Amino acid sequence: MMIIGEKINGTIPSVARAIASRDENYICELARKQVRAGADYLDICAGGSPDKELETLNWLIDLVQDTVDTPLCIDSPNAEIIEAVLPRVKRSGIINSVSGEGSKGEVIYPLLRDNDWQIIALTCNDKGIPYDAGSKVAIAVQLIEKAGQYDISPERILIDPLVMALSAVNDTFLTFREVITEIKRIYPTVRITSGLSNISFGMPYRRAVNLNFLSLAIAAGMDTAIIDPTDKDTIATILATEALLGRDKYCRRYYTAYRQGLFGKRKTV
């Protein structure tokens, strides 16, 4: 499982405060902690008001890439902002995200020409987020085909099926699983990603829902997730699930992570 660390996100109150006071130490420490905990990419989201987003994102990007070598996942709802910040990013990473909304694709896809950036594509369009698997897959197919017109191969695309809250849509995981199966049938090399926060919206003890969703989603074929890697139970869940699925010979990665203190009692992360 490829891990995208979610913690450098201006919508988290403590991070918003660090951004407001330009607290470099706080942000650098978030970057280091997530990398130590096994993040393969670091999601960078400015949050806050749109008029400050560009300046904030530039500051965050410069700071994080001066601190760690881990590639970034540039997270903005605004395609023009992604276009504006991309030249300062040193290593190819992930653009988060494109969707079927408006003319987003026309701005985003050209940014992936002649490089090896990857892209997260959300299954929504101007009509919103569809609930049913068929409509989600149809949007994914449109996005993948459109990317192809810009020479972006399926290997570089991560589809985020935008999982709905379980409390509102009781078959949300079943739909998610159906979408994964169908997309992979059509495009075996396209990967699937998701966040964990929507699934448990409005429910008590969200952690139980999030972690069990994570495990079931990995079993269903999710390749990467946007998570908090410094959360030990999240890392333990990923490693235990992968071992159970026969993807960890002699449970070596599970044991190693335990010895490194990535989960369990030892406090080294």
- Asked if residue 237 binds ligand THG (CB under 6 A), the reply is no
- Asked whether the beta carbons of 41 and 265 are under 8 A apart, the reply is no
Binds ligand THG (CB under 6 A): choice among 75, 178, 242, 248: 75
The yes or no reply on residue 241 touching ligand THG (CB under 6 A) is no
Residue 197 engages ligand THG in binding (rule: CB under 6 A): yes
Joined tokens for residue 18: 């660090």
Q: Least Å distance between CB 121 and ligand THG? A: 9
When binding is defined by CB under 6 A, the residue of 109, 136, 137, 228 that contacts ligand THG is 228
* 97 lines the binding site for ligand THG (CB under 6 A): yes
Q: Which of 22, 32, 12, 17 minimizes the C-alpha distance to 230?
A: 32
> Which of 96, 99, 125, 175 contacts ligand THG by CB under 6 A?
96
Among 1, 3, 5, 6, binds ligand THG (CB under 6 A): 6
By CB under 6 A, residue 226 contacts ligand THG? yes
Report, in Å, the least distance between residue 56 CB and ligand THG.
Answer: 15
Of 85 and 226, nearer to ligand THG (C-beta) is 226
Residue carrying the six token digits 């560009």: 54
Interatomic CA distance for residues 220 and 217, integer angstroms: 5
Give the DSSP letter string of 101-162.
STTHHHHHGGGGTTS--EEEEEEEETTB---SHHHHHHHHHHHHHHHHTTT--GGGEEEE--
Of the candidates 33, 57, 37, 63, the residue with the CA atom closest to the CA atom of residue 45: 57
With contact defined as beta carbons under 8 Å apart, do 156 and 120 qualify? no
Contact set with ligand THG (CB under 6 A): 6-7, 9, 12, 45, 75, 96-97, 120, 160, 194-195, 197-198, 226, 228, 231
